[in-house]
Every structure is written in structure tokens, then in C-alpha cells.
Structure 1
Amino acid sequence: MNNTKTEGEKLKAHYTPVVTEIVESWAEGKPLNSDSGKANGYFRLTAWLLEYVMLHNSLPKGVHPMPEGRDRFGRTEPSFPVDFDALTDGFVLPG
């Protein structure tokens, strides 16, 4: 068994609950994507934030652009800025 993958999966499981909670707070009041029922950008932000906390073991600070994405039809979804100082205020990563 690959220990790196095992550690990566452990980190992912460790951080997913708080990342989901943060992204859910960001998504409140945003227009929903008719395909997924989630706010536009929800999955990009979730993936980006989860990768960030897994790499840095900390929450991001400042404004970061979310990468451009593609919907299931291949249409471009634009990048969008996220202010992590405001978004993560009051959230703490699990120990």
C-alpha cells in the first residue's frame, strides 16, 4: 500500500468537515447552479481550499482568485475572488 496516498487520504478526511463548513457559509445566498443545486463555484472553491489546507496546514489569508473552471458542457466558468480573511473569520482547523 502506498503510504503517501494513505497520508493524503487521512489529511483529506481530517480537513473536509471544516472546509465544507467554510464553503457552505460562503455559498449562503448565492445563486444556485441548476445542474448541481450548489452555488456557482462551490466545487472549485471546495477543491482549492481543501488542497490549500492539506499543503499548508493553515487557512489562507487575504484575497485569492479561484481558478477558471468548466461546466459539464465544457463552457468556461470565470475565475472569482474570495476574501479569506472575512470568510474564515471564526473558523479554526482541527488539531
Structure 2
Amino acid sequence: MAKRAKPRIKDADTYEALRDQGASKEKAARIANAQANDAMNPSKKGGKASPYEEWTKDALYERAQDIGISGRSKMNKDQLIKALRNH
């Protein structure tokens, strides 16, 4: 069975800063790698979405459902936030 390669982060400082701000691992990696690529010009500002703490539990549940997070029906609001950030 082939081993799955661990994703590489091309701009570790940007990745860590985004994670500290609450971005998911996937989003932080995507932005950090785009900024490290001279052929791409990602925006430095980003979106205007409110922090997960301001979302309702139902909205968090719907987002978790869109992403495909398993076990979401048994999670409370804090657990949903953690699962979304760690996705």
C-alpha cells in the first residue's frame, strides 16, 4: 500500500499566522502556498466572514455538513468550531 505524502507548506510563517487567526489547516496551507508562488497573486485582505464564535450552532452544523465532517450531529457548538478549524 502506498503511503500518502504529507502536504508541504511553502511559506511556514504565513501558515502559522493564519492558523493563529483561526483559519483551518486546509485554508491556511492553500493561502500560504499561493503566496509563495510567484505566478499567483492572492489577496492579502481575505474575506469578511465573521468568526465562528459569532455563528449559530445551526450555521456551524450546516458548514460542517458541507465540508463532510463526521460525527457533527453529536457535537456541541465548541466542538463544531474546533472540528471546522481543524479540517
TM-score (norm 1): 0.30
Higher Cα radius of gyration: 2
- Larger strand percent: 1
